[in-house]
Structure 1
Amino acid sequence: MDMIEPSLTTPSRAPIVTRERAAVALMFLMNGFLIGAWAPKIPEFAARLSLSESALGLMILVFGVGSIVMMPIGGIQIARFGSTWVTRITALLVLPTLLLLSLVGSVWTGAIAIFLFGGLIGAMDVAMNANAVVTEKQMRRSIMSSCHAFWSLGGLLGSASGGVLIAWLGVVGHGLLVSGLAAVIVIIAWPMLVADKPHPEEAKQKVRLPMTPLPWLIGLVALFSMIPEGAVLDWGALYFRNELGASVELSGLAFGAFSLTMATMRFAGDLVRDRFGAVNTLRFCTVMSIIGLATAGMANGPVMAMIGFAIAGIGISNMVPIAFSAAGNLPGMAQGIGLSVVTTMGYSGILVAPSAIGFIAEHTGLAAIFLGLPVLHLVVLLLSGLARHADRAPGPH
């Protein structure tokens, strides 16, 4: 007789930290660390290949295209082999790509290297999010937000240390050290990842993209959550400096205030979600983000805008993790397929937003942009009931 299993929001006696939770958190840390380490290498990469600003922009676009191409492929492989093995293999494959980017000497080899880097980072992203969902189910606890917090922490460590390490060890030395450290993380996490196996009888269903609207609607939630995030990250400092008259030093606090509250709330987000449920948490976060973005857009000076961005960080922090958990728990659908749809749609927003916002801002100014972004969040509020799937218990197998 099948037993009815509790939802993720049901109180659990399971330990808060397990080997499986530590392992998937380490994979998030490693992925973010590689992304963060890449950021300080970009100026040297552009100089080595004699890239103009527009050519560098195209190279960065190739990174995004690689992610969008490889994310659905990663989802199909998860359906066939399970998230554990896809996480492990993509982690192994991505390890040498940062070093490859340190060695390439022509535009074409650079384009191939950055495509592979972006693609494997994206495929690993889908796999480790899927593995986090499996771990959530096993633990009967929400862990997605803290996993994303570890990704943010990895990005911070990689970017903050990159400049110093490049100056000390050189570009290739930096690539070797970062790749070595990332490899150590993979070795530690490898045996501890939760073991999940696909169901062979569902294989044919799993390799098809979903024809039902549910994953696409949750993808819309992820997309409209990540566009404002990208806007703050890419345009916040420029808004401070050009439209609010802030100094160069103060302009950096636009991102600092936002990222600090976002990282803090991601570590707290799992406890909040387990206490109040995913739907209520998403609605609270969305309202906070609307208030924060509107405050920043109406700011009459840097301090008011900084407060606005800090409030927006509180809100945006847990919107995407909830969408990813919901995608991994959709009824009657392979986990990898649902997640690949939602992650691809979500990260497309990060790629599209910078250029689109730049074009609009030339005619309206950035204050109008930040005042307009809450309209996207109104759509998220309308669709927030879909977050109930983030609390859905796995059915009997």
Structure 2
Amino acid sequence: MKPVDNMQAAQGVNAARWAISAIFLLNGAGIGLWAAHVPVVQARAGIDTGVLGFLLLTIAGGAIAAMPLSGWLSGRWGTRPVALGSAWLFALTSALLMNVDGVTALFVAAFAFGASNGVLDVSMNANAAEVEAARGVPTMSSFHGFFSLGGLLGAALGGLVIGAGWGDGRGALAAGVIIALAVALAARFVFRVPPQGAAGHSHFALPRGPALFLGLLGLLCFAVEGALVDWSALLLTERTRAEPASAALGYSAFSVAMAACRFAGDRLVLRFGASRLMVFGGLGMFGGLLLAVLSTNFALSALGFALIGVSAANVVPLIFAAAARMPGMSAGGGLATVATLGYAGLLMAPPLLGSIAAHTNIAVALGLLSLSGLVIAANAGIVKRMG
């Protein structure tokens, strides 16, 4: 697709940019809202932490299972209807997950929530890649910035809702309705591109060649991000003797730094190029994790987490943008193939790190994970070759 020259068409592409940005924001908000409700849902369902772990695994499993379907649907029907349909389904399932009673119903709702999020994740990224191609300038990082911002807003909203006594599901239901209505308002502006099934493979394919390398790089980056969700607070309490309330600030430093740097990412790509930004990202992830695990000072460890956020912020957007440009595949098909392997890092990292930590300690486990940054830096050139 060539950059748009006609003024009217350019205005349409600009409107499409903000429309899909809104969907990224709403998706992040829904996930942030769920994160805030996890303890409330656990208490209401009467499940222990072991069962809760399986519930979270079910959500991730639903997402990974549905991602290949999203690539096929996007190639067959186009990214716009799939992104909109899955966004509405996401609004419904997010409200359902935080309102159901009974363990069986909770697990069914968790799988549906994960599946709708998996389809939405691939299709909205594919649509964003089409908008980026139409604009002719890097844009993907800003889309992921809106997702990160949405996560922060959703978590904050969840805290307010629960504090106001609406944690019984009423707040989540109201948020689901708002998300659905907001998607409806954005729908008319979401970018339309004819289905690409005839021009290239629209389906999921087993990763090989460039797709395999991109997927593995995505897996390593998601493994680092997932590890910080599960283990950053524990690391700070063990290494720096921080109180639990203070230890939570480590992940907050990572999240805020990541959100801020994603909004600057597109300008950084233009100035330094995708390959150099990937090298910086990998080396920064390596250095940040080492600083976090080696330091016994709370401020230095938190600074390490912030450095990881700054460095990792644009790695996944660059990988996804490259996946959408893979020769012989539609944007949705390429993203489904790479994202499915990448998101497996979220499934594999927590139990693997837990096993290593059980035989050593969490600092050693995260220290080994820091080597992922070096692998990402060493293979950064692949994002340029996909251009």
User: Do the structures match in fold with TM over 0.5?
Assistant: yes
Q: After superposing the two structures, state which structure 1 stretch, 331-340 or 19-28, moved more.
A: 331-340
Match of 1:11 in 2: none
The equivalent of 1:188 in structure 2 is 185
Aligned to 2:90: 94
Please name the residue that 2:176 is paired with: 179
- TM-score under structure 2 normalisation? 0.93
Question: How far does residue 248 in structure 1 lie from its aligned partner after superposition?
Answer: 2.9
Aligned partners of 2:220, 2:362: CA distance in 1, in Å?
18
Q: 1:237 aligns to what?
A: 233
Which deviates more, 39-48 or 262-271? 39-48
Q: Relative to 1, partners in 2 of residues 1:17 and 1:260: Cα closer, same or farther, differing over 3 Å?
A: farther
Letter in structure 2 aligned against 1:376: S
Question: Which structure 2 segments of 5+ residues have no match?
Answer: 4-9
**Residues 105-153 of structure 1: CA deviation (Å, up to 9, x unaligned):** 2222111111000110111000000011000000012111111111111
- Check if 1:33 corresponds to 2:40: no
Identity %: 35
CA contact (8 A) 1:210 1:338 kept: no
- Give the distance between the partners of 2:251 and 2:39, measured in 1 at CA: 20
> 1:212 offset after TM fit, Å?
4.0
Equivalences for residues 1-397 of structure 1 within 5 A: 18-168=14-164, 169-199=166-196, 201-202=198-199, 205-207=201-203, 209-210=205-206, 212-389=208-385, 392=387
The number of residues matched between the two structures is 381
Offset of residue 163 of structure 1: 2.6
> How many Å separate the matches in 1 of 2:322 and 2:385?
5
1:379 CA drift (Å):
1.9
Runs of 5+ in structure 1 lacking a partner?
7-13, 393-397
Shift of 1:184: 2.5
In 2: Cα distance, 1:125 partner to 1:250 partner: 32
Q: RMSD between aligned alpha carbons?
A: 2.1
- Deviation, 1:233, is 2.2
Seen in structure 2, the aligned counterparts of structure 1 residues 374 and 190 have a Cα distance that, compared at 3 Å, is same
Match of 1:9 in 2: none
Structure 1 pair 134/339, CA: closer, same or farther in 2 (3 Å)?
A: same
SS of 2:198 mapped into structure 1: helix
Aligned to 1:10: none
How far apart are the structure 2 equivalents of 1:355 and 1:248?
22
What TM-score do you get using the length of structure 1 for normalisation? 0.91
In 2, Cα distance between equivalents of 1:257 and 1:287:
19
Q: Is the 8 A contact 2:13 2:191 kept in 1?
A: no
CA distance in 2, matches of 1:359, 1:89: 39
Give 1:371 shift.
2.1
For the 8 Å contact 2:239–2:295, the answer to whether it is kept is no
Could you tell me which amino acid in structure 2 is paired with residue 329 of structure 1? R
Secondary structure of 2:329 counterpart: coil
